[in-house]
Amino acid sequence: MSGSTLGKLFCVTNFGESHGPAIGCVVDGCPPGMGLSAEDIQHDLDRRKPGTSRHVTQRRESDTVEILSGVFDGKTTGAPIALLIRNEDQRSKDYGNIANTFRPGHADYTYWQKYGIRDWRGGGRSSARLTAPTVAAGAIARKWLREQYGVVIRGHLAQMGEKEIPFVSWDEVEQNPFFAPNNAMVPELAAYLDAIRKEKDSVGAKVRVVAHNVPPGWGEPLYDRLDADIAHAMMGLNAVKGVEIGAGFKSVTQRGSLHGDELTPEGFLSNHAGGILGGISSGQDIEVAIAIKPTSSIAIARRSVDLSGAPVQVATTGRHDPCVGIRATPVAEALLAIVLMDHALRHRAQNADVVTPTPRIPGDVS
Amino acid sequence: MSGSTLGKLFCVTNFGESHGPAIGCVVDGCPPGMGLSAEDIQHDLDRRKPGTSRHVTQRRESDTVEILSGVFDGKTTGAPIALLIRNEDQRSKDYGNIANTFRPGHADYTYWQKYGIRDWRGGGRSSARLTAPTVAAGAIARKWLREQYGVVIRGHLAQMGEKEIPFVSWDEVEQNPFFAPNNAMVPELAAYLDAIRKEKDSVGAKVRVVAHNVPPGWGEPLYDRLDADIAHAMMGLNAVKGVEIGAGFKSVTQRGSLHGDELTPEGFLSNHAGGILGGISSGQDIEVAIAIKPTSSIAIARRSVDLSGAPVQVATTGRHDPCVGIRATPVAEALLAIVLMDHALRHRAQNADVVTPTPRIPGDVS
Amino acid sequence: MSGSTLGKLFCVTNFGESHGPAIGCVVDGCPPGMGLSAEDIQHDLDRRKPGTSRHVTQRRESDTVEILSGVFDGKTTGAPIALLIRNEDQRSKDYGNIANTFRPGHADYTYWQKYGIRDWRGGGRSSARLTAPTVAAGAIARKWLREQYGVVIRGHLAQMGEKEIPFVSWDEVEQNPFFAPNNAMVPELAAYLDAIRKEKDSVGAKVRVVAHNVPPGWGEPLYDRLDADIAHAMMGLNAVKGVEIGAGFKSVTQRGSLHGDELTPEGFLSNHAGGILGGISSGQDIEVAIAIKPTSSIAIARRSVDLSGAPVQVATTGRHDPCVGIRATPVAEALLAIVLMDHALRHRAQNADVVTPTPRIPGDVS
Amino acid sequence: MSGSTLGKLFCVTNFGESHGPAIGCVVDGCPPGMGLSAEDIQHDLDRRKPGTSRHVTQRRESDTVEILSGVFDGKTTGAPIALLIRNEDQRSKDYGNIANTFRPGHADYTYWQKYGIRDWRGGGRSSARLTAPTVAAGAIARKWLREQYGVVIRGHLAQMGEKEIPFVSWDEVEQNPFFAPNNAMVPELAAYLDAIRKEKDSVGAKVRVVAHNVPPGWGEPLYDRLDADIAHAMMGLNAVKGVEIGAGFKSVTQRGSLHGDELTPEGFLSNHAGGILGGISSGQDIEVAIAIKPTSSIAIARRSVDLSGAPVQVATTGRHDPCVGIRATPVAEALLAIVLMDHALRHRAQNADVVTPTPRIPGDVS
């Protein structure tokens, strides 16, 4: 029942703090026989790691992963896969001056109330740094899903502050530091973010994640529906304040005659459902969007209280992302991969015998 | 690991189908010694039950709950509480003509793909009727939270289609069939919905749920954060396509200097966080909003396929809610109650010894 | 995490009290498409039910099961299967005189300490009556295991008090009221038990359960080994004080050269392991033995204390089994079936892709 | 649902293989604020580690533990505690000659059947080396139980082969390499074991573990009874083939008038129950005994098959314990500590409000 474990059959148990000796996770439930090396994982970690452009935090971490167990002769054995990432840049002195205050928008106050302990070292366990093990575990899930089912999981920045980013192509996502599917818009985004950083402020973002080729039938209604578990994983990501599946909040103003996706022998005619009906995948693309709040660490002085209860002003200097939404993209992909792999395994357990019924509607939206 | 169980310490295991002999649930984990009678539960069930106004389905169900276990001499014993609701109005002939087709927007096709079985009786297990046991379990959680911590959980319809409903007062919510916090707007809503029903169509809605007086410290980061578990529960409710905590999707365009709620000795100065920071309750009101898609059962003919894969037209006549969002209100309250009670128990397990640290910021927004 | 749930993928959630309105369970995780009727379950319930001979309790219960959900058109749907058994013979006045005392050997005192509640009605939830839902759930597991894998699960009384019962044949087990695999010994057992009952006393027993045709590969080391989960289930049965797998406590004095079962292409040469090596099934028979304490309800007066802490004498009259071990046989079979089905599903989830490696050693002991 | 996790609220997730880079575990659910250092854990690890006498394996491992997370300023923070033990003596060449065969009594064949992988490096994950992380986690539980409730957990060797070891005193257990509570018997045990080793054979053992000062009320009936969870943990330990609580298999021949422990205001008059009634602790000593099979790795040649299915002879040379039961003692203590702490936390969650009822029977047996 561990609160630090994600997944029920593909189980990721996360450990570590921002400025402790190491972070990592234990991945339990990966089937045996899959090829796996540290390189397979490192690629995704590198997409998330700090310091890759001037638009993200400058903390210096190589985020090098070590596989401690569960892999033998280059293949998974079915045993738990322990992944270790040593913290290298533990400049906790950066945080010394805030050890006695509660930063607005941060979890300082709530951790203090829950645990009676103020681990002031960079947010301790509430730091976004703890998403690195999630990304590492997600890389395993993503590889397995691709090899077993041809599932492709991709994400991109869909909006930064007021700037909506029209989708051009998946190829462009990896060609710029914003995970924007639109290279032409990069200068505008860069200028926008530079201006916000100059104002010592930060800004929110919206990220979209899509899973392609998910077979129909994954999800356990009720209560462990596929959309419910996706929402759990996404809302569990630091700074996320909203989750949408398919039409999301647009559904509020839609009519049933519009929203309900019609079926034809050639495929569904729309995808307002976002690939999930009744909590079960339909074969269409799984469509997820998340709202990410602006970075709480800003250099503008703000009101707060200290540990004695006295009013203070807090400004956070140091190495922070002006828009945490950017680096959230690979994490959201990893989370979707973990949830999907978990449900793939659950489906195999209970429904391995089900002869896939016809008709099978192609997932593609025509 | 039961997929039909919600909660880890306060566990609700749901069973039943829309047109089977009975629906119900087993509630495991309720502490002993709390006064509990069927009446305590019936009140909430009556708010959700069909046939209470012309704006909801006319199916005739008294939704009478029987407590089968776990209560002795009017008090909970600590043993599992089994709740039974017999189905009375099983007019499954209403559905006979659609047994061989997949209704657009419904879970017919995905259940078929997952289980290889077409339980055409009113949606079988995917029916919104299965929310009744959730409401019953939620009534227990709500009572316990109120008696132990003074927690008050309330919900209301916030928007129906294009009609935003300005909040006037909690008192008015129970005074109209829409759960609208605004009696003056009821005629307008009624006319709007009548028109949609006349067009044989349906419409979406937005529901807001608020928990007041939740103590700081509930939630298990990471991954079982309080917001993550709320999102899981809400997205697991039929027809929900989006979940927001606090500022939700408004966070996307907010600056950090606006979003981060400042603290003063007298209280927080805003509540964009929605009462949750780092996945842990802050003592402020827990603020949740959900998007509910329009009812999929509409009388407008729509394209689909039948079990042989041939194209057909499907129109759903019969007794359906033109806006399922209305009756979602008591269910959303129940889900929030279940998640909160679960986390209250989890908090007691791990943190019972923590001396509540000072300073304690009042939860009230000034 | 429900404490009243057995199994992780095949989940049995038990509810009810000895003298409440009903007992039952929800079985979640049964694959769809298996034929299932109340008769399939009733057969096993009838083997456990009271009043079948003078050697067991005379309480009058038909133990008629009703399937409330999860079955449609005679087949499982993949949805939770709720099973209900109404209590009929609730003569709780039998227990009135002991409501204020703690019966030696019973759970009265520990329930009182845990829950602060004295449900004196026939032991409340600690009654052996609560094994009926376990037997009902086990009937489902047993049917599935037989149909999917040809697994046969059988149990018998192996010893009653000092009387060891030599095994003659499985066929004879169902031909006498003791579940003795040895009809010739029945008169001796009957006389022995009559004498004990005349002395107002009770006696312990040993039950053996065997699963035949279990495929190799089931079990999750570590920690959810197949033997560990069997031990959990068996020790969780009322009155059980010991569990053995294979050679059990005989292993203590064995040499490695004797205990380690040799392998040949024709099969294993012995089965000291009891069909489980490293927590995983080997294909040999799963061999389990359990020790069952003597019935605690005896008519001999014994020392105890009452609720005020004063010393009292307690004698329990009424309808009690002089040897609860007899009726434990069908329950132990059911428990083994539940654990095996749970692990069958878990194995399918993680190892569905494993090409069954050669060599495959026949499970039969030659 | 991770199969590699022990406990539901105090969760120990184990990882590693005998000859991989490292072994370890993540302990999730330890309350915040407890003093904890590596030394606290190292002491128990040293009792289990190899090479401490000529009677155990000579593999050279310092078994030095590193705390990677969950501790700050010498205190637990409430976050997961990751514990790492690097493997130092990875002489896997010792095993090279058996890579193609299945050793009798070992898990080689069953792992091969389950995972399709032959990790021949010292048994891979099935090695008793994997009990080290369990001991490390148990040290945390033991410390917490002692500080919170004064619980004392102790174990000793009760029998080695035919040699029963009369209990003299707990003090003597730590004064000899056998964990024997009887120093006078040590020369006899040493000579006995030397003889067995000279014969290239091995022998079984019986270990007793006792928990003193456990408060009444721990355990979740049914199914997660305290005795059930103890049985699960113990039977999950390598080489264990039997588990007894209290009178254990002696119950089979006992009469009810003997077995049922009488209560007086001064205390219980016996402890056949082993401190657990109805699955709940009674306040008396928790009494557990386990049967441990003889070491499977022996130098006597035995029949088996190789990976091609051909018959072979296998003799295992190298560094093996002639009686694995000896080093099982600290592991069994650790397992009991983990289960008890798990149930302590579960009890606090559900029963924190129960006013401890009177009368309270002293746990001491008079």
Q: Write the DSSP string, C107-150.
A: SHHHHHHHHS----STTGGGSGGGHHHHHHHHHHHHHHHHHHH-
Q: Does D21 sit behind a cis peptide bond, omega within 30 degrees of 0 on the bond before it?
A: no
Contact D245, D232 (CB under 8 A): no
Tell me the shortest Cα–Cα distance from C356 to chain D, in angstroms: 6
Q: Up-side HSE of residue C135: CA atoms within 13 Å toward CB?
A: 26
User: What does the pLDDT read at residue D356?
Assistant: 66
H-helix or E-strand spanning residue A85: strand A81-86
Residue A90's pLDDT is 66
**What are the structure tokens assigned to D88, written together?**
């130092």
The CATH class given to the A92-351 domain equals: alpha beta
Residue-wise pLDDT for C19-42, tens only, equals 899 999 999 999 999 999 999 999
How confident is the prediction for chain A on average, in pLDDT? 92
* Measured distance between the N- and C-terminal CA atoms of chain A, rounded to whole angstroms: 43
Q: Would you place residue A94 in the very low, low, confident or very high pLDDT band (cuts 50, 70, 90)?
A: low
Sign of CA dihedral B55, B57, B61, B64: negative
- Token representation of residue A282: 């339909």
D neighbour chains, 3+ CB pairs within 8 Å: A, B, C
Q: Could you tell me the residue ranges of all domains in chain A?
A: 92-351
Shortest CA distance to A303 belongs to which of B268, B365, B280, B359? B268
Cβ atoms of B298 and B306 within 8 Å: the answer is no
Task: Look up residue B88 and give its two tokens.
Answer: 């009375």
Name the pLDDT band for C70 (thresholds 50, 70, 90).
very high
Token readout for A258 is 């519009």
Using an 8 Å CB-CB cutoff, list chain C residues near B16: 68-69, 80, 82
In the prediction, which pLDDT does C19 show?
Answer: 87
Q: Report d(CA C158, CA C207) in Å as an integer.
A: 5
Strand blocks (E) in chain B: 5-6, 11-16, 22-28, 65-67, 71-72, 75-76, 81-86, 152-160, 163-164, 205-212, 240-245, 263-264, 267-268, 276-277, 280-281, 286-292, 302-305, 311-314
Residue B363: the pLDDT is 67
- Is D93-351 a domain of CATH 3.60.150.10? yes
Q: Which letter does DSSP use for residue D35 in this model?
A: B
For residue C15, which amino acid is it?
Answer: F
C-alpha B219/C-alpha B204 separation (Å) is 31
Give the whole-angstrom CA distance, residue B339 versus residue C49: 39
Residue from C1, C9, C6 nearest C347 by CA: C9
Task: Using DSSP, state whether A346 is helix, strand or coil.
Answer: helix
Closest by Cα among C285, C281, C287, C340 to C141: C340
> Is A125 an 8 Å CB contact of chain B?
yes
Helix residue ranges, H only, C277-357: 325-351
Report how far residue B42's alpha carbon sits from residue B53's, in angstroms, rounded to the nearest whole number: 18
DSSP string, B7-21: -SSSEEEEEE-TTSS
Give chain D's mean pLDDT: 92
> How many Å apart are CA A280 and CA A264, to the nearest integer?
19
> Which phi and psi angles does B327 have, rounded to 5°?
-75, -5
Radius of gyration of chain C (CA): 21
Average pLDDT over residues C230-241: 97
Q: Which secondary-structure segment (H or E) carries D291?
A: strand D286-292
Angle, helices C38-48/C131-149, rounded to nearest 10 degrees: 130
Among left, alpha and beta (phi > 0; psi -120 to 50; other), residue B71 is: beta
Q: How far is CA A308 from CA B150, B360, B361, in A?
A: 27, 10, 12
User: Residue ranges of chain D with pLDDT lower than 50?
Assistant: 365-366
Q: Does any CB of chain D come closer than 8 Å to the CB of residue C362?
A: no
CA distance C266 to D234: 33
Token pair for residue A231?
Answer: 């929402």
Buried b (16+ CB within 10 A) or exposed e, B186-197: beebbebbeebb
Report how far residue A214's alpha carbon sits from residue C176's, in angstroms, rounded to the nearest whole number. Answer: 55
* Whole-number CA gyration radius for chain A: 21
Q: Is D166 exposed, middle or buried (0-12, 13-18, 19+ CB in 10 A)?
A: exposed
- How far apart (Å, rounded) are the C-alpha atoms in residues D293 and D289? 13
Q: Band of the pLDDT at A366, cuts 50, 70, 90?
A: very low
A272 with B293: Cβ contact below 8 A: yes
Confidence bin at C255 (pLDDT 50/70/90): very high
Using alpha carbons, select from C119, D352, D348 the residue that is nearest to residue B148: D352
**Does A9 contact chain C (CB < 8 Å)?**
yes
HSE toward the beta carbon, residue A343, CA cutoff 13 A: 28
Q: Say whether residue C110 is in contact with chain B using an 8 A CB cutoff.
A: no
D109: nearest CB among C14, C112, C282: C282
- Judged by a CB distance cut-off of 8 A, whether residue B252 touches chain A is yes
Helix (H/G/I), strand (E/B), else coil: D127: coil
The domain defined by C5-351 folds into: Chorismate synthase, AroC fold (3.60.150)
Give per-residue pLDDT as tens, A212-257: 999 999 999 989 999 999 999 999 999 999 999 999 999 999 999 9
Angle at C337 between CA C333 and CA C338, to 5 degrees: 120
Quick check: A91 pLDDT over 70? no
D209: left (phi over 0), alpha (psi -120 to 50) or beta: beta
Q: Is A278 annotated as a binding residue?
A: yes
* pLDDT, mean of residues C142-157: 98
Rounded to whole angstroms, the Cα distance separating B191 from C290 reads: 70
- Using one digit for the tens of pLDDT, what is the confidence trace for B156-206? 999 999 999 999 999 999 999 999 999 999 999 999 999 999 999 999 999
- Cβ–Cβ under 8 Å, residues C309 and C258: no
Give the containing element (helix H, strand E) for C23.
strand C22-28
Tell me how far apart the alpha carbons of residues B338 and B136 are, in angstroms, rounded to a whole number.
Answer: 10
Find, in chain D, the residue whose alpha carbon is nearest to that of A21: D68
Q: Which residues of chain B have pLDDT under 50?
A: 365-366
Name the one residue in this structure whose structure tokens are 């045996």: A32
Q: Which residue has the tokens 């033990």?
A: D85
Q: One-letter amino acid identity for C254?
A: Q
All partners of chain C with 3 or more CB pairs under 8 angstroms: A, B, D
Q: Which residue of B has its CA nearest to A303?
A: B262
CB-closest option in B221, B305, B347 to A265: B305
- Give the closest-approach CA distance of C185 to chain B in angstroms: 41
Chain C hits for D224, Cβ within 8 Å: 3-4, 236
Give C111's Cβ-side CA count (13 Å radius). 26
**Cβ contact A242–B241 (<8 Å):** no
Written as one letter, the residue type at C256 is G
Q: Tell me: the pLDDT tens digits for C174-224?
A: 999 999 999 999 999 999 999 999 999 999 999 999 999 999 999 999 899
d(CA D166, CA D182): 7
User: How far are the Cα atoms of D26, D95, D129, D135, D364 from residue D85, in angstroms, in the given order?
Assistant: 12, 22, 11, 12, 39
User: Using alpha carbons only, what angle is made at residue C119 by residues D10 and C197, rounded to the nearest 5 degrees?
Assistant: 105
Percent of chain C with pLDDT over 70: 95
Q: Is D218 exposed, middle or buried (0-12, 13-18, 19+ CB in 10 A)?
A: buried
Place of tokens 């990410």: A292
Please, are residues C314 and C302 in contact by the beta-carbon 8 Å criterion? yes
Determine, for residues A21 and D68 on separate chains, whether the beta-carbon distance falls below 8 Å.
yes
A4 appears as a binding residue in the annotation: no
| Interchain contact B35–C (C-beta under 8 A) | no
What region does C80 belong to: left with phi over 0, alpha with psi -120 to 50, or beta?
Answer: beta
Between CA A120 and CA A112 the distance in angstroms is: 10
Residue C93 has pLDDT above 90, yes or no: no
In three-state secondary structure terms, C344 is helix
